[in-house]
Amino acid sequence: MSYLSFSRRWAGYLSRQTNLPAEQETVLTYIIEVLALTFLNVFLTLLVGAFLGVLPGTAACLVTTALFRHIAGGAHSNSPLRCAVVTIIIYPMLALLSTYFNRLGQGAVDMLSIVAFGVGMMAMIVLAPVDSVAAPIISTVRRKKLKYASVAFVMLVIVATLWFRGSQWQYAEMVRTCVALTLLWVSFMLTGWGHGFMAVIDGISLRKR
Amino acid sequence: MKKVKAQLFVLVVSALLFLANVTAAFGASCAITSYQPEVPEALRK
């Protein structure tokens, strides 16, 4: 098992304090790494969103992603640094893109939402859940449950969007567009193209020649 | 004081282990990020 050094160090310290067996120490290392990377990514993404003036939209994108990525899975990067860069850039950009869609009027937002729900539903029915080498889904029963949950979440998002459509909240329109754009992004990450995109990100050389 | 500290460590570690089980049981991948730390063998289902 390969984990980052900070999570190994923290887990080692905690397991020494509680006399934890080696197997449990690995589990501890895993969850520390997941939590630390998630908190760091969320914080930096919201910071960039706030800097660009699209904090509510960025938050809406993150909530939608949290709903789908966890259940439906998708393409992943091999590097936590590259993953952080992608996360920090993509969601504020989607929120920024939503402001342009909102300027086109409610008809355009409705059209975008319909397309996103159609694509999202198809992606969840056909592709979800997409596991990875680092987190394989072994049980077929579990795979089926995750697919049902993914489809159920698309329905939940449709209901939430309809509710936001009738809402007088000043950010309702932005949130609606962000949810639709994020659903399209999440669906893209389930496809072979999404995996290809992540492979390209992983293939970018950072060394100076 | 030492006893309270030890109990606090046990509480934190128990909460983290519980969270690890929940995270691995209810999802196909970690939540928001595009990087997936390797799920330990004990948590694979």
Give tens-digit pLDDT for A100-159: 999 998 899 999 999 999 999 999 999 989 888 888 888 899 899 999 999 999 999 999
Query: Would you state the pLDDT for residue B41?
Result: 82
Query: Per residue in B3-43, pLDDT tens?
Result: 888 889 899 999 999 988 888 776 666 667 777 888 888 88
Say if A39 falls within a structural domain: yes
Query: Would you state the pLDDT for residue B31?
Result: 65
- Best A30, A45, A146, A150 member to test B by mutation, with max B CBs in 10 Å, is A30
Orientation of helix A22-51 relative to helix A5-18, angle to 10°: 130
pLDDT of A176 above 80? yes
Whether residues A174 and A101 share a domain: the answer is yes
Which residue carries 């519980």 as its tokens? B18
Whether residues A133 and A41 share a domain: the answer is no
Is A136 part of the contact surface with chain B (CB cutoff 8 Å)?
A: yes
Is B32 part of the contact surface with chain A (CB cutoff 8 Å)?
A: yes
Out of B9, B12, B32, the one facing A69 most closely (by C-beta) is: B32
Say if A208 falls within a structural domain: no
Query: Per residue in A74-98, pLDDT tens?
Result: 888 888 888 888 999 999 999 999 9
Whether residues A60 and A44 share a domain: the answer is no
Weakest mean pLDDT among A13-27, A32-46, A48-62, B23-37: B23-37
Is A127 part of the contact surface with chain B (CB cutoff 8 Å)?
A: no
Say if the Cβ atoms of A31 and B30 lie within 8 Å. no
Whether residues A187 and A151 share a domain: the answer is yes
CA distance A104 to chain B (A): 29
Confidence of residue A183 (pLDDT cuts 50, 70, 90): very high
Whether residues A198 and A166 share a domain: the answer is yes
Among candidate residues A31, A51, A71, the one where a domain is terminated: A51
Confidence of residue A160 (pLDDT cuts 50, 70, 90): very high
Query: Would you state the pLDDT for residue B29?
Result: 66
Weakest mean pLDDT among A35-49, A136-150, A188-202, B14-28: B14-28
Whether residues A24 and A100 share a domain: the answer is no
- The size of chain A, in residues, is 209
Out of B9, B20, B36, the one facing A27 most closely (by C-beta) is: B20
Whether residues A20 and A100 share a domain: the answer is no
Whether residues A35 and A118 share a domain: the answer is no
Say if the Cβ atoms of B39 and A73 lie within 8 Å. no
Query: Would you state the pLDDT for residue B28?
Result: 62
Say how far residue B28 (Cα) sits from the centre of its chain.
15
pLDDT of A207 above 70? no
Whether residues A112 and A172 share a domain: the answer is yes
Out of A14, A31, A37, the one facing B20 most closely (by C-beta) is: A31
* Token output for A65: 């992603």
Comparing B26 with A171, which gets the higher pLDDT?
Answer: A171
Residue A142 belongs to what domain range?
55-203
d(CA A88, CA A197): 16
Write out chain B residues lying below 8 Å of A24, CB-based: 17
Is B42 part of the contact surface with chain A (CB cutoff 8 Å)?
A: yes
Whether residues A62 and A37 share a domain: the answer is no
Is B10 part of the contact surface with chain A (CB cutoff 8 Å)?
A: yes
Q: With beta carbons less than 8 A apart as the criterion, state whether A14 and B12 touch.
A: yes
- Best A18, A24, A34, A43 member to test B by mutation, with max B CBs in 10 Å, is A34
- The size of chain B, in residues, is 45
Say if the Cβ atoms of B19 and A31 lie within 8 Å. yes
pLDDT of A209 above 60? no
Residue B35 belongs to what domain range?
2-43
Say if A68 falls within a structural domain: yes
Query: Would you state the pLDDT for residue B22?
Result: 84
Q: Give how many domains chain A has, as a whole number.
A: 2
Query: Would you state the pLDDT for residue B30?
Result: 65
Whether residues A115 and A39 share a domain: the answer is no
Query: Would you state the pLDDT for residue A137?
Result: 86
Q: Give how many domains chain B has, as a whole number.
A: 1
d(CA A69, CA A124): 11
Whether residues A25 and A68 share a domain: the answer is no
Phi, psi dihedrals of residue A130, rounded to the nearest 5°:
-105, 110
